[in-house]
Amino acid sequence: MIVWIILFPLIGAAINGLLFTSGLYKKYGGDEHTEHSASGIIASGAVLLSAILSTYYFIQLLSMDASQRQIIQELFVWIPSGDFTVSFEFMFDSLSSIMALVITWIGFLIHIYSTGYMHHDKGYAKYFTYLNIFVFFMLILVLGNNFPLMFVGWEGVGLASFLLIGFWYQDNEKAYAGRKAFIVNRIGDFGFILGIFLIFYIFDSVNYQEVFGKALDPTYMEAVPAAVITTIGLLLFVGAVGKSAQFPLYVWLPDAMAGPTPVSALIHAATMVTAGAYMMARCNVFYSQSPTAQMIVVSIAAFTAILAASIALTQNDIKKVLAYSTVSQLGYMFMAIGVGAYAAGLFHLVTHAFFKALLFLGSGSVIHAMSDEQDIRKMGGLRKKIPITAITFLIGTFAIAGLPFLSGFFSKDEILAALYDRGYMFHWIVALITVVLTALYMLRLYLLTFEGKSRVPESIKRYVHESPYSMTIPLMVLAVLSILGGYVGVPDFMGKAIGIEHSNYFEHYVSASIYLDTAVEYGHHFFGHWALAGFSVGCAALGMFIAFYLYYIKPSSSENVAKEFGPLYKASYNKWYVDELYDYIFVKPFAYISGVFSKFDLGFIDGAVNGVAAVLKDTALTLQTVQTGVIRNYAMLMAVGAAVILTIVILYQGF
């Protein structure tokens, strides 16, 4: 009964929504304190049950034969239409099981963390209702066994993110951020649904097994032009670009930091933004067959990775740095998917979920300690005050930078090796530069926040305190995962060195859902695997060294650097003016056209409608005076009328 994985969060949301958010509980004498603890426990418990259940089925999958790892449960026929039917059915296979585990377990930790973080918030029960709705839709997206069901989840998480980002809707700017996320996502969704239509048109089905089965059948594919497969791949990619915040649709994600910090951790690090990567890995069969689509995906992903990393360098808001870092890391995942290294992309998705959730929750802990201050220029020297947060944050920083033996190292190295192996030299170099930038901005963030002289304003200084256990325990769990999480996917060549064959368990597990292997071994390589790993470690070390020098050894020199690269620094600080560019290209012309049309609407269309009404009204007012109420007038009119009619009849009928 895999459907219960999905139903538990829905039940949790229903209880919280109907009982607490509706005010019923208070109406019948419940007090706020018990309401708070109850709603937190219900929401976290619901996700915990899902997590336990998905773990149970995951273990079942492991015990199955590799080629049969699939549990499908059909609930009912959803859209019966002649020969074409869509069922409401869910599938638990090697791909969706990984996602389900990440969503439920990390989601559970974030729920626990939220009970502490949101403790003083008025909308406590509402918050947990939304959070459960989000998990529910995300699980539908991941576990659905056909494209329409995935689309339901796809739209559902869009809605949930709109609700959660705009959670503090009393603040206009935050409500605006929620709206922006929703609208930008819509643009991507448009591409996604067009892709689904095209799939239906070509393969006459929307069920995964049937579509992928036909797409793998060479005789069926003979009749399908290559350009169509490329188009399908690119349309789906447009959807992924929206949801997973790739260039040019990434602009919503940094603004989405307006939501509560645990929301940022859940939506913008661990689950929703990875939906695009999941979807493309699911549809790997199209990408494997279309080199053009692959080329475009890799190029956009590489550009996104380096662009976002360059913006993250100069941001001063602790959460904004992490947001751009997420955009950049998602670029890595898409690079991997673009070159056909789907397992590597998903592996990075998993490890990224660990350390990015850790970093976001850590930043939440800092914000909590600093009484809602998010500007790192007003921090510094916090390590002694909040040691647990500082240490876990440092572990996250090292993991994302790709220091050896931490989770991020293994997954990032896989991607870099895949880029190199498949001959994407230019993209490989871009990815390496991004590694330098990643290490640089992450260590800058850590150093400015936790080390050096304190720049905390006196008014806040006295209140800086470590967060409660409900917040620090998830941090510690995530820190352990960030360290150890990479060992399920140690590259085979490293495993061999210490005498373990096939040490990349992750790849072997996931490969059951990957239909075509595009790993083409190119003639000869300059560098072996060890050298490649050495390059990425060297780049990370270089970035860390620069950060350490600029922000720790000689703190004043960072300002000199900023002056030296004046225009560049300013452009990066202003996010390369992409938002302004959009404003200029899209928003302003649309506003102008809307103005013209509104004049036409008000003047012509409304004028015509109102004009007819006015004419009728005037006529009625004039005719009204005929009604005098004097009986003699009526009698006379009747007599005259009768006389007139008689006259006419006599004249024309010739009596």
**Which tokens hold the place of 21?**
């958010």
CB of 644 to another protein, least distance (A): 14
CB of 619 to another protein, least distance (A): 13
Using rule CB under 8 A, residue 624 touches another protein = yes
Per rule CB under 8 A, count of chain residues that contact another protein: 12
What distance lies between CA 331 and its chain's CA centroid? 13
Using rule CB under 8 A, residue 635 touches another protein = yes
Number of residues that make up the chain: 655
Identify which of residues 598 and 628 has a Cβ nearer to another protein in the complex: 628
Using rule CB under 8 A, residue 18 touches another protein = no
CB of 617 to another protein, least distance (A): 14
**Which tokens hold the place of 338?**
């673009």
**Which one of the spans 278-286, 329-337, 410-418, 627-635 is the region binding another protein (CB under 8 A)?**
627-635
- Considering only CA atoms, give the Rg of the chain: 31
> Cβ(530)–Cβ(493) under 8 Å?
yes
CB of 650 to another protein, least distance (A): 14
- Which position among 24, 75, 581, 636 is part of the footprint of another protein (CB under 8 A)? 636
For the chain, the first-to-last Cα distance in angstroms comes to 93
Give strand pairing partners of 85: 80
Identify which of residues 586 and 634 has a Cβ nearer to another protein in the complex: 634
CB of 628 to another protein, least distance (A): 6
For 402, phi then psi, to 5°, come to 90, 35
Nearest-angstrom CA–CA distance, 622 and 299: 74
**Which one of the spans 236-244, 454-462, 470-478, 623-631 is the region binding another protein (CB under 8 A)?**
623-631
Identify which of residues 609 and 642 has a Cβ nearer to another protein in the complex: 642
**Which one of the spans 412-420, 450-458, 609-617, 622-630 is the region binding another protein (CB under 8 A)?**
622-630
**Which one of the spans 188-196, 327-335, 596-604, 624-632 is the region binding another protein (CB under 8 A)?**
624-632
Using rule CB under 8 A, residue 170 touches another protein = no
Using rule CB under 8 A, residue 581 touches another protein = no
Q: Which of the residues 439 through 498 are near another protein (CB under 8 A)?
A: none
> Cβ(114)–Cβ(9) under 8 Å?
no
Nearest-angstrom CA–CA distance, 162 and 177: 8
Closest to 58 measured CA to CA, from 50, 265, 185: 50
> Cβ(435)–Cβ(544) under 8 Å?
no
Using rule CB under 8 A, residue 627 touches another protein = yes
Give strand pairing partners of 77: 87
Helices (H) and strands (E) in the chain, counts: 32, 2
Crossing angle of the two packed helices 407-421 and 529-548, in degrees rounded to 10: 120
> Cβ(399)–Cβ(325) under 8 Å?
no
Nearest-angstrom CA–CA distance, 210 and 152: 20
Identify which of residues 566 and 629 has a Cβ nearer to another protein in the complex: 629
> Cβ(106)–Cβ(474) under 8 Å?
no
**Which one of the spans 324-332, 358-366, 419-427, 630-638 is the region binding another protein (CB under 8 A)?**
630-638
Closest to 352 measured CA to CA, from 311, 401, 296: 401
CB of 637 to another protein, least distance (A): 10
- Which position among 219, 459, 625, 653 is part of the footprint of another protein (CB under 8 A)? 625
Using rule CB under 8 A, residue 629 touches another protein = yes
CB of 634 to another protein, least distance (A): 9
> Cβ(466)–Cβ(387) under 8 Å?
yes
Give strand pairing partners of 79: 86
Identify which of residues 631 and 651 has a Cβ nearer to another protein in the complex: 631
Identify which of residues 18 and 646 has a Cβ nearer to another protein in the complex: 646
Identify which of residues 377 and 617 has a Cβ nearer to another protein in the complex: 617
Using rule CB under 8 A, residue 632 touches another protein = yes
Using rule CB under 8 A, residue 655 touches another protein = no
CB of 618 to another protein, least distance (A): 15
Using rule CB under 8 A, residue 609 touches another protein = no
What distance lies between CA 606 and its chain's CA centroid? 42
Using rule CB under 8 A, residue 645 touches another protein = no
CB of 641 to another protein, least distance (A): 12
Closest to 168 measured CA to CA, from 178, 180, 158, 182: 178
For 149, phi then psi, to 5°, come to -70, -40
- Which position among 371, 560, 628, 647 is part of the footprint of another protein (CB under 8 A)? 628
| Distances, alpha carbon 242 to alpha carbons 74, 162, 412, in Å | 30, 14, 23
- Which position among 222, 631, 651, 652 is part of the footprint of another protein (CB under 8 A)? 631
CB of 625 to another protein, least distance (A): 7
CB of 181 to another protein, least distance (A): 59
Identify which of residues 596 and 623 has a Cβ nearer to another protein in the complex: 623
Burial of 45 by CB count in 10 Å (0-12 exposed, 13-18 middle, 19+ buried)? Answer: middle
State the amino acid at position 129 in one-letter form.
Answer: T
Binding footprint of another protein on the chain (CB under 8 A): 624-632, 635-636, 639
